[in-house]
Amino acid sequence: MRKNCLFFVWLPFFLFILLLSEWVEAQKESLPVTLEIPKLVAEVNGDKIMKTDLAGECLRLYGMEELKDLIKKFLIQLECSRRNITVTQQEINNEVERMAKTFKFSTQEWLDLLEKERGMTSEMYMEDIIRPILAIGKLAGSRMNITETEIQHEMNARFGEAVQVRQIVLGSRKDAEKVWNDLNANPESFPSIAKNRSLDPASQPYGGLIHPIRRGTVNSEIEKVVFNLKSGEISPIIEWPAGQFLIFRCEQHLQPQNVDQEKVREQLITKIRDVKTRSAAEDVFRELQNRAQVDIIFGNPARMAQVPSVAAIVNGQNIDQTYLSDICLKRYGKSVLSDMISKLIVEQACRKQNIVILDADIDREIREMAIKYLPLRQDGSPNIELWMKMKTEESRMPPEVYRTNTVWPVLALKRLSRSLVQVTEEDIQRGFESNFGKKVRCLAIVFDLKDQRRAQEVWEMANRNKTPENFALLAEKYSMDPESRIARGVIPPISRYSGQPTLENEAFGLLPNELSQIIQVDENWVILYCLGHEEPAITNINDVKADLVADIFEKKQNIAVAKYYENLLHHAAIDNYLTGESRNPEIEKAMRAAETTK
């Protein structure tokens, strides 16, 4: 399992240290403010992308975010200077070593991982992440103290008793009450109703199954309700913000995991420190900001016309816009250029086919997404404002950037690939069987392909005691798949045409309480225990045909979009002078032909 770094949740707060003006002047030689970026950064099928274009796009996408972080760090440094607080290099080295040990890496392995996965050099990590974090800790003082009560609370949240539940999310109380009555009449229909009626896209495909709920990890009202449910019991309707109504079914209560608290103590402390640091950073910055004079000019057209070269003025000192631009170029230049190249390839294809995407087309696409993924308002209209708020906060993009950089390319590729999408009668029949046909409820234990011997041993243990309770214990102990292990073997019901024919054939051939053979599914060995078969809730295909056609069209369209873009990319002549990468299909084709002739 890949080890993830908890520190990156702090990254938006701390990007570049901007100190007092005297300190900046003394350090300018060591700061990579003037970047070695060529005037021409890329060519795509003859169209040029200049450095000025790239700088403008980096500023448009990340300028405001980076500026806010610069101001935060500037104020933090000012306060450290005022209170004579320093962070030594030895303290930084100790913290890096501690973090590496927490995630079972050597210090060098840890730094190499950061550079490989995050593009962050060791110097950037120490100066732009660790130093500010340690400074915040010192400024926060006693607010950073961690108590034994907090450690025990985190222990319970990660390893304590839990409840495995399914959930259904609905958009009105009327719908919720109807579904609740149906569920109480037939509790076993919960997975089917969740898949067909729930508005939660994450749990819907799995029949409403979600990760086990532990104490202290969810809203207190939900926690109280689910922990009081008995196995198989349906919860009352719980009203939720944004006009949503939740219904839960308890699958089973899970005992606390048997872990050595001392062995995980450092990780627990790291998680608590993470939360405290974020909270302290917000508190400290709020206090500093209340005492500071900050004039943000960037993003304000009127002010930018008055002082075009200044991004902000903090306590009378300027943050230069060129400095901000160079920071954005340094941090995001390569990734932004890659996106610009991708978008330019799509723009070229649209020009060639005289396809024009209007603002009204983008508005319509956003409206359709809001209808699909969010509950309608009380008056039946789509909640477009909430959708835009969610997507812009999720991507940290201004609305206009979300429209031009996310919605426009998708809409353009849909138009370009539209003729490639067809829904056949065979597609509809398979979709009906997959969504509404018979299903098999199973428990599963998953092994790595290298662990065939272990799979055989576990199969024999399961075969000696063919009960769901025994199989669940074996799944919790031996399954390498985190979800099935935590859920004690519970997996979503298996349907036809799910994309795993070997698994489907084995499951549909099992009788209730029967154990499967050891089967290979992709890169894993899998053992199934059949709990029973679910009969179809809908038998007439015409009742759901229109919905099936729309769903299948969307899925085939997504595939067509990906293939179409892949084809555009394959035939594009691209020179990326920022990364030094170049490819020209025509030249490569000619070279292959010459080699063949030779």
Contacts of 494 (CB under 8 A, 6+ apart): 439, 440, 441, 442, 503, 504, 507, 508
Q: What is the pLDDT of residue 443?
A: 94
In DSSP terms, 434 is beta-bridged to none
Q: What is the pLDDT of residue 598?
A: 62
- 110-126 burial, b at 16+ Cβ within 10 Å, e below that, comes to bbebbeeeeebeeebbb
CA angle 372, 374, 376 (to 5 degrees): 95
* pLDDT tens, per residue, the chain with 598 residues: 333 333 333 333 333 222 223 333 333 333 333 347 889 999 999 999 999 999 999 999 999 988 988 888 888 888 888 889 899 999 999 989 988 887 788 999 999 888 877 767 788 788 878 888 888 888 887 777 788 888 888 888 888 889 999 999 998 999 999 999 999 999 889 998 998 889 988 888 888 999 899 888 888 899 999 999 999 999 999 998 778 999 999 999 988 888 777 778 877 887 787 787 777 777 887 888 888 888 999 989 999 999 889 999 988 888 899 999 988 988 889 999 999 999 999 999 999 999 999 999 999 999 999 998 888 888 889 999 999 999 988 877 889 999 999 999 999 999 999 988 999 999 999 889 888 889 999 999 999 999 899 999 999 999 999 999 999 999 989 999 877 787 889 888 999 988 889 999 999 999 999 999 999 998 899 999 999 998 887 888 998 899 899 889 999 999 999 999 999 999 999 999 988 899 888 777 667 666 766 6
Report d(CA 541, CA 434) in Å as an integer: 12
Between the alpha carbon of residue 328 and those of residues 8, 55, 481, the distances in Å are: 18, 8, 39
Which two tokens mark 62? 């990340």
Q: What is the pLDDT of residue 435?
A: 86
Which two tokens mark 381? 């209209």
Between the alpha carbon of residue 583 and those of residues 42, 44, 114, 335, 576, the distances in Å are: 12, 10, 29, 18, 9
Contacts of 43 (CB under 8 A, 6+ apart): 49, 573, 574, 575, 577
CA 97 to mean position of chain CA atoms: 28
Give the other-Cβ count within 10 Å of 514's Cβ: 11
The whole-model pTM stands at: 0.61
Stated as kind and residue range, the H or E segment containing 27 is helix 21-27
DSSP state of 587: H
HSE value, Cβ hemisphere, 13 Å, CA-based, for 302: 1
Between the alpha carbon of residue 143 and those of residues 153, 272, 386, 451, the distances in Å are: 17, 12, 35, 47
Report d(CA 569, CA 216) in Å as an integer: 48
3-state secondary structure of 34: coil
3-state secondary structure of 474: helix
**Burial status of residue 440 (CB atoms within 10 A of its CB: 0-12, 13-18, 19 or more):** buried
- Compute the CA torsion angle 411, 413, 415, 420 (nearest 10 deg): -140
DSSP state of 405: I
Report d(CA 391, CA 379) in Å as an integer: 23
Q: Please check whether residue 113 is in contact with residue 125, taking contact to mean a CB–CB distance below 8 angstroms.
A: no
β-pair type (524-534, 439-448): antiparallel
- As a whole number of Å, the CA-based R_g of the chain is 28
Which two tokens mark 250? 């308890």
Report d(CA 82, CA 62) in Å as an integer: 30
Identify the residue whose tokens are 């404002």.
385
Q: Please check whether residue 339 is in contact with residue 401, taking contact to mean a CB–CB distance below 8 angstroms.
A: no
Between the alpha carbon of residue 428 and those of residues 414, 418, 565, the distances in Å are: 21, 19, 26
Q: Which of 111, 116, 106, 112 is nearest to 126 (CA)?
A: 111
Which two tokens mark 364? 């319509």
Delineate the domains of the chain, giving CATH numbers in brackets: 6-42+52-146+263-326 (no CATH), 161-254 (3.10.50.40), 353-420 (no CATH), 438-534 (3.10.50.40), 541-597 (no CATH)
What DSSP letter does each residue of 38-104 carry, written as one string? Answer: -SEEEEETTEEEEHHHHHHHHHHHHHHHHHHHHHHHHHHHHHHHHTT----HHHHHHHHHHHHHHTT
Which two tokens mark 240? 């939720």
Q: What is the pLDDT of residue 271?
A: 79
Q: Which of 477, 474, 448, 453 is nearest to 463 (CA)?
A: 474
